[in-house]
Amino acid sequence: MDAQSLFVKIRVWIETARPATLPLSFASILTGSALAAWRGEFSLTITLLALLTASLLQILSNFANDYGDAIKGSDRQERLGPLRGMQKGQITMQEMRRALWICFACCVIIGSTLVWSACQSASDIIGFLFLGLLAIIAAITYTVGKNPYGYLGLGDLSVLIFFGWLGVSGSYHLQTHAFHMSILLPATGCGLLATAVLNINNLRDLDADRKSGKRTLALRLGPLRARYYHIALLATAIICLSLYALFELKSLSGWLFLLATPLLAHQGWTVLHAPDGTALRPLLKSALRGALLTCTLFAAGTVMS
């Protein structure tokens, strides 16, 4: 393989890994780590290992999503999203299966290192190893298998769980070795913002998903109700963060995240009035930035509190 072909191949793999989706993983870890810092229990080593583990899980999910959709024929030519490596014929089934195994091994190694470094009791080690295995299974079975849950409309719930409840609460517990019910408020807020990103993706691909039999929640709700659902996701996320700032942080800096609300409001207005999936196509990057900005501002405000 010459240098130009190698460069093209590397670029294809980077595109298939979808680095633009990594901010969703970062947001939950940053939020949980900021909450730990607010309690005086921040660990840079654990935070970095958690960020690396979350990134690898996200890439594993993206690879598996590409693989599963390619097998089921969901990545049709009329799909409005960017063409993926397997869809363009630049990555073979065998190459993707090999990449999945490599990514799986990396997740196990880095995740185990994180658990070993952070956990102080046998019960915590067993519990987080189980959660890590569950996260790997969820990343793969979103579109892979006989009955992938992404085709059953359960993708939104999965995002809320892993990018919200487990991502935030898990990174918080690994550093504080404690759990407080109030953490579920920012965890839910963070997870709902990530779910909103998925909802835009699914709204964009309604027609293609309908033809391929991919029954996402947006497809089950229908175009209009899925748009109102999107507004509810954004509004509820802000309410959850506001409640935590009001009852826990009790500081003006704790409301720093409100600076991102104009961006979220514009996102909601655009989704509500977009005539079709084509109009939603450029909004996906904006939604990713909005989720990351909101969580980053919340994290910064928490630390400043």
| Residue 203: inside a domain | yes
Q: How confident is the model at residue 285 (pLDDT cuts 50, 70, 90)?
A: confident
Q: How confident is the model at residue 24 (pLDDT cuts 50, 70, 90)?
A: confident
Alpha-carbon span 144 to 126, nearest angstrom: 26
For the chain, the first-to-last Cα distance in angstroms comes to: 55
| Residue 15: inside a domain | no
| Residue 212: inside a domain | yes
Question: How much is the pLDDT for 113?
Answer: 96
Token pair belonging to 163: 């990018």
Question: How much is the pLDDT for 59?
Answer: 93
Q: What percent of the chain has pLDDT over 90?
A: 64
CA dihedral 143, 149, 154, 155 (to 10 degrees): -20
Alpha-carbon span 56 to 213, nearest angstrom: 29
Least confident of 61-65, 69-73, 91-95, 130-134: 69-73
Question: How much is the pLDDT for 65?
Answer: 86
Token pair belonging to 133: 């295995």
Question: How much is the pLDDT for 80?
Answer: 56
Least confident of 147-151, 183-187, 285-289: 147-151
| Residue 27: inside a domain | yes
Least confident of 71-85, 150-164, 251-265: 71-85
| Residue 10: inside a domain | no
Question: How much is the pLDDT for 256?
Answer: 96
| Residue 238: inside a domain | yes
Q: Which amino acid is at 44?
A: L
Question: How much is the pLDDT for 117?
Answer: 93
Least confident of 85-99, 119-133, 183-197: 85-99
Q: Report yes or no: 237 and 192 within 8 Å, Cβ to Cβ.
A: yes
Q: Of 240, 238, 243, 244, give the one whose Cα is nearest residue 258.
A: 238
Tally of domains in the chain: 1
Question: How much is the pLDDT for 47?
Answer: 96
Contacts of 161 (CB under 8 A, 6+ apart): 191
User: CATH number of the domain that 173 lies in?
Assistant: 1.10.600
- Long-range CB pairs of 107-114, under 8 A, 24+ apart, other chains included: 107/53, 107/56, 107/57, 107/60, 107/132, 107/136, 108/132, 108/136, 110/49, 110/52, 110/53, 110/56, 111/53, 111/56, 113/49, 114/46, 114/49, 114/50, 114/53, 114/174
Q: What is the DSSP string of 169-234?
A: HHHHHHHHS---GGGHHHHHHHHHHHHHHHHHHHHHTHHHHHHHT---HHHHH-HHHHHHHHHHHH
Helix (H), strand (E) at residue 160: helix 155-160
Question: How much is the pLDDT for 12?
Answer: 84
Token pair belonging to 124: 């915590």
Residue-wise pLDDT for 74-109, tens only, equals: 555 555 556 667 777 778 889 899 999 999 999 999
Instruction: Write out the residue range of the structural domain in which residue 181 sits.
Output: 23-304
| Residue 9: inside a domain | no
pTM: 0.91
Q: What percent of the chain has pLDDT over 70?
A: 95
| Residue 18: inside a domain | no
Mean pLDDT of the chain: 89
Query: What average pLDDT does the segment 183-190 reach?
Result: 97
